[in-house]
Amino acid sequence: MLLEVGLTVRDKLPDFTMTRDYVSIETPDGKTIPLATIPEFRQANTQALQNRAKAQRDSINYFPPDAHRPCRIGFFTDLSDRAVAWDQFEVTSDRACWGGSISTFLAGSSMDSTG
């Protein structure tokens, strides 16, 4: 499943350390599916989803005005990418964090090219 996500913290709220443990999806039948591990992501065939993300995107650039510093949600990266995958990142009121074109996968879902 490809998710485009944007996060920030509103003014006067404390900074927050976002970890991969906080990301999951609850299905209509009540199952909770956690974010995939980096090895699960790397084993999946993600090329079709990544191509779709390059061609078809919803804008998520409507952050509050104070969130002016960019921040990457780096839970996953491709082996060909020079960026490093992270297990956490800091969310603050002046940071606009988003997934960019990174595909985000959930463990236990069918991680094939159909998404």
Domain ranges of the chain: 6-98
pLDDT at 29: 95
pLDDT at 30: 94
pLDDT at 25: 85
CA distance 46 to 105: 9
pLDDT at 115: 37
Report residue 49: phi and psi, to 5°. Answer: -65, -40
Helix/strand number for the chain, H first, E second: 2, 7
CB burial of residue 103 (10 Å; 0-12, 13-18, 19+):
buried
pLDDT at 7: 81
End-to-end Cα spacing for the chain: 5
- 72, 79, 73: which is closest to 23 by C-alpha? 73
CA distance 88 to 110: 25
Per-residue pLDDT of the chain (115 residues; tens, 9 = 90+): 777 777 888 888 899 898 888 888 888 999 998 888 888 888 888 777 777 777 766 666 677 778 888 887 888 776 677 777 888 888 888 887 776 433 344 444 443 333 3
